Amino acid sequence: MTAGDAAIRIRDVSHEFGEPGDAQFVLALSHTSLDIERGELLCLIGPSGCGKSTLLNMIGGLLTPTTGNVEVHGKPVRAPLPRDIAFVFQENALFPWCTIIENVKLGMVFQGVPKSEQEPRARKALEAVGLKDFMGHYPAQLSGGMRQRAALARALSLETGTLLMDEPFGALDEQTRMILGEDLSVLLSRSEKTIVFVTHSLGEAVFLADRVAVFSARPGRIKEIIEIDEPHPRSPSFVTTEKFSRLRNTLYGLLHDEIRKAVEQSATAVPQP
């Protein structure tokens, strides 16, 4: 990858919560540098508390690095960039009193999209995620997977170059996660979006990612980056191949000791009676 290909540049980034010396002080992420290519889907995976979501939020301008800097499409990130970056979180955050298409259009309202463009863009995004026939439904009338599709449609309708996804399928059952992963792989093959995707699922990371950044236990650092040399869209049969199993096992091997360390950190952090 040449320097011109990078959509996101992360340089020597660290983040601290609290002040050094305080009982609640946490160094969540330590001196992390990374380039993310335009059109790439990069998965971040690691133990709980290793700084994956912290890094995602710094890319999105929701947190400010304690040290280092982040650039998105050549712009220094010092605050949210709603015209450049869209989010999809684990909780779909749909307004229950609005229809699905109204929920999608609300994202564009906040972004400042002209009203004349909102309806066609919302319809296009909902069709892309398979919700063409559910535009007039309310969130309570849809399954959890369908609600998360609606949240993805809202992000797609913003037409940003970068999409940040923080465990978007984490609250769903395994079968629904598989189907949504297949659909996301198809969407990726049709777009040039740069996607950063946080997950705890080894299989999800292998199935979705072009590369997987494996994080150490806290303070989080990138331990290794694994290339997933498989074109999009990915066939469901990919998960039954030796290649898929080998890559998943590689991730497991890299993560096992880090998860042990994270568990030990949690145990020692519990106040004793």
- 80-101 pLDDT per residue, tens: 998 999 999 888 789 999 999 9
Report the alpha-carbon angle 6-10-13, nearest 5: 175
Q: Does 272 have pLDDT greater than 50?
A: no
Tell me the pLDDT of the chain averaged across its residues.
Answer: 90
Q: Does 152 have pLDDT greater than 60?
A: yes
> According to the per-residue pLDDT averaged within each range, which of 157-171, 184-198, 242-256 is highest?
242-256
Q: Which of 35-39, 44-48, 187-191 has the lowest mean pLDDT?
A: 187-191
- Which tokens belong to 170? 């984490």
- Structural domains of the chain in order of their starting residue, each with its CATH number: 3-84+164-269 (3.40.50.300), 91-159 (no CATH)
Q: Which of 9-18, 29-38, 261-270 has the lowest mean pLDDT?
A: 261-270
Residue whose tokens read 């769903």: 172
Query: H/E element holding 198?
Result: strand 194-198
